[in-house]
Amino acid sequence: MPPQKPRNTQIEDRTDSNNESVCGDVGLEATEKAYKEKIAELEGKLLKQSHKLSLLQYLTDIFTTGLKPKKIAGMLFELFLRELGTKASAVWIKEQSSEAFQPYFSISVPKEMIERWKLPFPNPFPDMPMLLSQPQWLEKQALPGIEPIIEAQDESQGAASKNKIEFGEKSGNKYQPQDINESAEEKPQPKNELAPYYVPFEFQSELMGFALIGLDPDHHMESERDELSTLGHIVAASVFNTHLLAELRERLDEIKNKTEELEKTNTALINADRFKREFLTMTSHELRTPLTGIMGFTKLIIDGLYEDEDEMRQMLEDSYSSGKNLLKLLNDILDMSKIESGAFQVTLEPVCLLESFSEVTIVANSLPRTAGVLLNMPDNLESMPKVLADPGSLRQVLINLISNALKFTHEGSVNVVLERGIGVINFSVIDTGIGINPDSQKRLFQKFVQADEGYSRRYGGTGLGLAICKHLLGMMNSAITLHSEGEGRGTAVMFSIPIA
């Protein structure tokens, strides 16, 4: 047997060591590569997550500005297109003024379809047992007939072009969604058969709206689910706040209107209180004056303090005149009280103007007037037809107006004119008296009001005459108007009574 060569164990050990070193280096490189890939993956996820958070923050800032529902829907359409690649979607937002969800579509649809797709509030899917507060895939049976909207492919009809959100450098934001996700143009086209994904807009357990997004049924929504849920809460809070602000504005407008009404009412009450105080002062004076005259003249006659029968007769006539003034004052007060309480009634019947004016003329001729002032009554009474009125109320209106005209006319005349119109007789009492300034004309038909406060002291009266005339004519289906070109230029008072 030939002798064996001795083994070089040092060489073999060195070779084995080298082999182990090479294997170790390969393993380290593989491990390092795996770590780098993992780190890159984590960095990508972190960048995506950072983008999503920045996007949500951006949308939060935008939506808190109180956007209108149509603008909110347009921004959502653009967001769904950019982030999810959907080409068709629909958004329903609760209307403030009605109990319904108003639809908005990312494609052009006929107006009748929009009206058709208004859905009831608070549950838009009454026949579907679904969780309204959870983002989820939705069976098409929930909204029968919605497929043409969800499956629409023509993005050129979408709302994105009208309501585009500019992200990235153009808008001054730090994030660049195009760096992370493919652009909308580069994303793979969805299949013809799309499925609706439901995103609720919930705020304080109340559904403020929702979105249906047309997506590929195989689209994985796990990564977007939380963000869409957060987006839904942001949109719901925006809609809720918009409604709240609108309601607050309405309340403020109501409060403002009520305040203005209260101010007007308060002003009217203050004026009424002032008028009543002036009326009481005026009335006490008006009552005292004729009563003093009656008592004074009566006392003189009783004591025999007159020279002859003529003087006694004059005293009796003055006493009688004072009594008439007192009676007129009391009648005005009683008439206004009856009118305001509803106790004053009128009976409309055919009235002969010739007969009515014969009585008015007798009273009018006995009214006090300035010497030289003429009173001209109408001369065409025989040709006038009967009118439909209350005889006593018509006489009272005419006597009040003639009395007023004579009281405030110092020279010239007072003319009572009748003219036949279409179906009516037009009455006018025209004087050449002191006239009325335009500002005073507006309030002359109020109670206790005269054109000037000084008039009541100078001319007497309660300020009820024209107010009574206005109410009586109103009860006879008529209205009264007054015109004067100003102080010193006379006054005309007109009204019409229907022909019987």
> Cα 355 to the chain's mean position, in Å?
54
Return the closest-CA partner of residue 493 out of 472, 470, 464: 470
437-466, pLDDT tens digit by residue?
A: 887 777 677 665 554 554 544 555 566 778
Helix axes 353-366, 391-407, angle to 10 degrees: 40
238 and 91 in a single domain? The answer is yes
End residue of a domain, out of 200, 229, 247: 247
361 part of a folded domain: yes
Whole-prediction pTM? 0.45
Provide the residue type at 443 as one letter. Answer: R
End residue of a domain, out of 211, 229, 247: 247
233 and 371 in a single domain? The answer is no
Name the residue range of residue 429's domain. 345-498
Q: What is the mean pLDDT of residues 153-182?
A: 38
224 and 365 in a single domain? The answer is no
CATH number at residue 213: 3.30.450.40
CATH number at residue 448: 3.30.565.10
239-291, pLDDT tens digit by residue?
A: 888 888 888 888 899 999 999 999 999 988 887 787 677 667 666 766 776 77
Could you tell me which residues come within 8 angstroms of residue 408 by beta carbon, excluding any fewer than 6 positions away? 431, 433, 434, 455, 459, 491
Both structure tokens of 458: 């100078």
366 and 228 in a single domain? The answer is no
24 part of a folded domain: no
Could you tell me which residues come within 8 angstroms of residue 74 by beta carbon, excluding any fewer than 6 positions away? 104, 159, 160, 162, 163
79 part of a folded domain: yes
If one compares 30 and 11, the residue with the highest pLDDT of the two is 30
368 and 221 in a single domain? The answer is no
End residue of a domain, out of 247, 282, 299: 247
| C-alpha dist (Å) from residue 126 to 123, 145, 204, 372 | 6, 16, 20, 90
214 part of a folded domain: yes
Could you tell me which residues come within 8 angstroms of residue 199 by beta carbon, excluding any fewer than 6 positions away? 135, 210, 211, 212, 213, 228, 229, 231, 232
218 and 363 in a single domain? The answer is no
Cα gap 97→242, rounded to integer Å? 12
56-95, pLDDT tens digit by residue?
A: 777 777 777 778 888 888 888 888 888 887 867 889 999 8
Number of domains composing the chain: 2
Region of poorest pLDDT, from 7-21, 214-228, 372-386, 467-481: 7-21
